[in-house]
Structure 1
Amino acid sequence: MTVVLRMIGRRLLGLIPLMLGIVLFVFTIMQFSSTDPAVAVFADAPVSPEQLEQFREEHGLNDPFFVRYIGFLGLLVTGNLGKSLATGQEVTGLIATALPLTLQLTFLGLIIAAVIAFALGTLSAVYRDRWPDHVIRITTLGGVAAPSFWVALLLVQWLSINLSIFPSSRYVNPNDSIVGWIMTMTLPALALALPLAAQLTRIVRTSMVEELDRDYVRTARGGGLHPFVVVGRNVMRNALINPLNVLGLRIGYLLGGAVVIEQMFNLPGMGQLMIEAVKNNEPAVVQGVVLTIALGFVVVNLLVDVLSLLVNPRLRTSH
């Protein structure tokens, strides 16, 4: 327990410079936008240059770069992410509305990818160099090369347009209908999960093969234990370490992919919120979304590290 708490403490201390760097990076990138926030806010309303200038002054858009950066950090310390220039809404409120859908999509895709990967990876390792192994390896090789947006197009064409099984461009809240939610989230989650499942399957197979070649496995098999008993009781636990670490790192991939997938399926999540904020050059909203995603990425990887320590006690001696 002391080792786990020490690791969590180090990660939390490292979180401070990480977040400061992320905010600075987003601030810098937004400076290159060709969209004037004031013009974007009044895009549909006739305003004079004087009114635009007054809007910029009121919202600090004319302040120097570092003045705005320090000002945002001051708000951040109090838990305030600022307001949207276009609507006047608190950024925390916008994120609170959009984040649940992105989390639903991300973790549904994560669960699907993990189940597929551990099942196929284990099967491929157990039947190494036989026909199930060859089929799985060839299939996953194609999956690794397939980007999630291309998989999404294929799924929409096949399961939505041709077979009319799943809807492709609407969202149903799970509070309204669980069945409707499952139907609307299946295609986006599969589009995120399948490329990741292909990558993880190959990693699981490699880890399983390494463990199956160890002496204790030969001894267990020589003692008359069934191969699947050996795999389930001993091999799986030791072989899970590398896939778990990779799975934690791939959370960032899923969150990034969700931005594109939400746009393709018209889902009102963090991706759609960020795209609209980038188009309208709203730094506060973009920063809030990026910080939230980055924080989620760090927290998930911390949980994966803790889980790895619990699964494999040998790792505790190295911390």
Structure 2
Amino acid sequence: MIILRMLLGRVLSLVPLVLGVTLFVFIVMRFSPVDPAVAALGDTNPTDAQLEQFRRDNGLLDPWPIQYGRFVWQLLHGDFGVSVITKQSVGDTIATALPLTVQLTLMGLVIAIVLGLLFGITSALYRDRWPDQLIRVVSLAGIAAPAFWIALLLVQWLAVGEGLFPTSGYISPQDSFSGWLNSMTLPAIALAGPVTAQLTRIIRTSMVEELDRDYVRTARGGGLSPVVVVGRNVLRNALVTPLTVLGLRVGYLLGGAVVIETMFALPGMGQNMIQAVTDGDTSKVQGFVITIALIFVLVNLIVDILYVIANPRLRSHS
């Protein structure tokens, strides 16, 4: 019941946040210098009368409050509108592109979590010794290195130099799982690089703080194995703080996927969004941005729930 009550409170608190996101996106797109009428009819050399008729037919001349109300009403019914360029449903385009972006984000997240745990725990257990010093230097460099730069190095080294991976392109897992894994490995590693470095440092700091607590010294003094102490108590308590940061890092992964997908020619949300911006397709841009924002909000809701589950003190005060 405590978890359900907390979940209900979190969901209700997200309602104004989601509305704020939709309002922000709506206002930004309305201040865009791109005229949807010109973008849709530009290739036909339209007259002023034709542009005016297009704006009237598509409700672009209605007052902003009416346009926003219609926009929210359509979103509530799962309608993201129609592309002014291709005349196709934006929802259908999102449904086609989103799975690839989710695949890339999840692969990057798994890599970041596994490597972050491995390096962070190792660094804490060997505090101030050479493994710790090496991991700290490498993680600091990883934080400073942007994902696109890591991607360029990986392509130059493993794709062009060694020929182990393709430089670009995408293969569906339904067509070939090994081909899919091969085409997604370099983008996922590049995307996970900075997040791995950040998680490593955060996990190391949390682990060091827990290892210095009195209960650890008492447990070791009582004859418990260090493996038992670290695995049963220290690790669980130390992961509470990294768990809260992880939700924000998922948002970074989603944003970074926009650039990485473009670099590796992956037909996901990122590449479609860049193309929509280039074409002046405001409906698509609007739909893509809102979708990514809603996913970010949902992920942070899940992280909040996991945080409460992992922290008994919060459950007792919920």
Match of 2:302 in 1: 303
- Answer with 208-217 or 101-110: which moved more: 208-217
Match of 2:94 in 1: 95
Matched, 1:217 2:219: no
- Answer with 300-309 or 130-139: which moved more: 300-309
Match of 1:160 in 2: 159
- Separation (CA, whole Å) in 2 of partners of 1:51 and 1:218: 79
- Answer with 41-50 or 282-291: which moved more: 41-50
User: Which residues of structure 2 form unaligned runs of 5+?
Assistant: none
- Separation (CA, whole Å) in 1 of partners of 2:290 and 2:6: 22
Match of 2:67 in 1: 68
- Separation (CA, whole Å) in 2 of partners of 1:7 and 1:90: 37
Matched to 2:135, the amino acid is I
Q: Kindly state the Cα deviation for residue 263 of structure 1 after the two structures are TM-superposed.
A: 1.0
- Answer with 152-161 or 280-289: which moved more: 280-289
**Cα displacement string for residues 242-264 of structure 1 (whole angstroms, at most 9, x for unaligned residues):** 01111112111111111111111
Preserved contact between residue 27 and residue 283 of structure 1 (Cα < 8 Å): no
Matched to 1:86, the amino acid is I
Match of 1:243 in 2: 242
Match of 2:148 in 1: 149
Give the paired residue count: 318
Q: Kindly state the Cα deviation for residue 19 of structure 1 after the two structures are TM-superposed.
A: 1.8
What is the SS of the residue equivalent to 1:61? coil
Preserved contact between residue 108 and residue 192 of structure 2 (Cα < 8 Å): yes
**Cα displacement string for residues 185-231 of structure 1 (whole angstroms, at most 9, x for unaligned residues):** 11111111011000000000011011111122112222333322321
- Separation (CA, whole Å) in 2 of partners of 1:54 and 1:100: 37
- Separation (CA, whole Å) in 1 of partners of 2:282 and 2:12: 26
- Answer with 183-192 or 30-39: which moved more: 30-39
**Cα displacement string for residues 28-61 of structure 1 (whole angstroms, at most 9, x for unaligned residues):** 2123323222222234444444333322221122
What is the SS of the residue equivalent to 1:166? coil
- Separation (CA, whole Å) in 2 of partners of 1:249 and 1:89: 33
User: Which residues of structure 1 form unaligned runs of 5+?
Assistant: none
Match of 2:267 in 1: 268
Match of 1:41 in 2: 40
- Separation (CA, whole Å) in 1 of partners of 2:76 and 2:142: 43
Preserved contact between residue 29 and residue 286 of structure 2 (Cα < 8 Å): no
Match of 2:53 in 1: 54
Please list, as runs of the form range in 1=range in 2, the aligned pairs for 1:1-319 lying within 5 A after superposition: 2-319=1-318
- Separation (CA, whole Å) in 1 of partners of 2:273 and 2:224: 54
**Cα displacement string for residues 273-317 of structure 1 (whole angstroms, at most 9, x for unaligned residues):** 222223333333222222221221122122222222222322212
Preserved contact between residue 105 and residue 188 of structure 1 (Cα < 8 Å): yes
- Separation (CA, whole Å) in 2 of partners of 1:42 and 1:126: 64
Identity of aligned residues (%): 61
Alpha carbon RMSD of aligned pairs, Å? 1.6
Matched to 2:136, the amino acid is R
- Separation (CA, whole Å) in 2 of partners of 1:129 and 1:32: 53
- Separation (CA, whole Å) in 2 of partners of 1:39 and 1:73: 24
**Cα displacement string for residues 162-190 of structure 1 (whole angstroms, at most 9, x for unaligned residues):** 11111121011111111111111111111
Matched to 2:100, the amino acid is L
Matched to 2:163, the amino acid is S
- Separation (CA, whole Å) in 1 of partners of 2:39 and 2:135: 50
Runs of 4+ that moved beyond 4 A: none
Q: Kindly state the Cα deviation for residue 67 of structure 1 after the two structures are TM-superposed.
A: 2.5
- Separation (CA, whole Å) in 1 of partners of 2:194 and 2:27: 32
